[in-house]
Amino acid sequence: MSDEQHSLPQRLSEVRALAKLSQTELAGKLGVSASLVSHWEKGTRTPSESQLLELARAMGVALDYLLNAEIRPLFKCRAQVTSPQKNEIDQALLDASSQVHFVATAHRLAGKVPKSFILRADFGSTEALPGAATHLRDTLKLNRRVTLDELKQALAEWNIFVFDWAMPQHLSGISFRGAFSCIFINHQQPPTRRLFTLAHEFAHVVFHLGRDGESGKNRMDTQVSISSVRDPLEKQANAFASEFLMPEADLKSLVEKYGDRLREPGMLEAAARTFNVSRDAIFYRLTQLKFFKWTDKSDYFRGNYQLPAAPTVRVAPTDEKEIDSQVDIRFREMALALYQEGQVSVGKLAEWFFTPRHVLEEYIAKLRDKEEQVISDEPVPVDEEAAAEGA
């Protein structure tokens, strides 16, 4: 990137746009005039160090992301967001862009070159999906019945970072493909739905990202998954996830074996568990096989899982008690190693993990206690020669 592209005025304008703030709104948060913000973005005035820190906080980003980000994906919803949580969704997309920057920074500080995800395929026809899904399951060395933890681990081995974040309820997943790849899934949803979302975002990475967009001109490196029955790419990702987790051949065998017993809600629930998916997912899959009719839905989903009520405050990406399950394991290990080597502070690590500093300090203390416990449990080596001389 050129110095001009890295210029502070342009970056201020860019991040403000990502934060969905007007110059007047940003000025109001800072307690300054809108004309001063305009001067900063034109380069006719330069904010002080303290003002830069206030700017970062007002826009909801880390100062390092504001000043130093070279990889900064622009996550944009493909359709207009009508959710009452629109502001929270916008913030989550900005957080995801920041997280990609933090992963890139950790690689740089560790002296490692990010490894890219190399698999890529054209979606093709739905008739070809069974073969494509089988090939990818075999390539990732997955069992035919895929679990959430197994898929996370497999994607990690193929250089895809997976963050299991708490996100606004209408936002299911986010994916990025570049020098490295990242997938974000919504930790507030049940494991069955998170597994489907992870397979869905994996489809975006394989079939859609890192290539020309629909216009054939603009390269598409990011995807935001919000429920949509119209978006063709979302339909393709759903179709792949369904075949990937619930192979058509296996479903047909299930229908042949149990027949109309599958129409019993309890049996349908048991069948869903065998595939580690929700009752909704297997119901819709079976409608594609003409076993159910769409009009049967109301008979099976009374009192089914409901999304949590929308919070009135910003959703923090990482729950204070679940760093291990929510922060990608490879990124976590790399970041903790940098902390132990003194290359990053605990405050910086808290930024990277989207976790309050005091929570991270408690987390690190527990890790140290575990390490000390392991050491104390190890048997003390015996010097056989010295023991023989003593005897």
- pLDDT over 90 (residue 170): no
Q: Is the pLDDT of residue 388 over 80?
A: no
Domain boundary at 12, 45, 68, which? 68
Both 229 and 360 in one domain: the answer is no
Lowest mean pLDDT among 182-186, 199-203, 303-307: 303-307
User: Range of 267's domain?
Assistant: 247-302
Whether 226 and 251 map to the same domain: the answer is no
Residue 101 has pLDDT above 70, yes or no: yes
In the prediction, which pLDDT does 5 show? 41
pLDDT at residue 389 above 90?
A: no
Q: How confident is the model at residue 3 (pLDDT cuts 50, 70, 90)?
A: very low
Pair (125, 200) in one structural domain = yes
- 231, 343: one domain: no
- Check pLDDT > 90 for residue 12: yes
| Number of separate domains in the chain | 4
CA-based nearest residue to 68, from 34, 40, 17, 109: 109
Judge whether 61 lies within some domain. yes
Q: Given this model, what pLDDT does residue 378 score?
A: 58
Kindly report the backbone phi and psi dihedral angles of residue 124, in degrees, each rounded to the nearest multiple of 5, phi listed first. Answer: 70, -150
Statement to judge: residues 63 and 205 lie in one domain = no
pLDDT tens-digit series, residues 236-256: 999 999 999 999 999 999 999
Q: How confident is the model at residue 314, as a pLDDT? A: 54
| 61 neighbors 67 (Cβ within 8 angstroms) | no
173 and 120 share a domain?
yes
- pLDDT score for 137: 95
Q: Is pLDDT at 376 greater than 70 in this prediction?
A: no
Give the global pTM: 0.87
Res 223 pLDDT > 70: yes
**Is residue 348 predicted with pLDDT exceeding 60?**
yes
User: Distance between CA atoms of 311 and 186, rounded to whole angstroms?
Assistant: 15
Give the pLDDT confidence of 53-63 residue by residue, as tens digits: 999 999 999 99
Question: Are 86 and 209 within one domain?
Answer: yes
As beta bridge partners, residue 165 has 186
**Domain containing 59 — which CATH number?**
1.10.260.40
In a domain, 237, yes or no: yes
Check: CB of residue 220 under 8 Å from CB of residue 208.
yes
Percent of the chain with pLDDT over 90: 66
Do residues 1 and 85 share a domain?
no
What would you measure as the largest C-alpha separation in the chain, in angstroms?
88
The answer, yes or no, to whether residue 313 has pLDDT greater than 50, is no
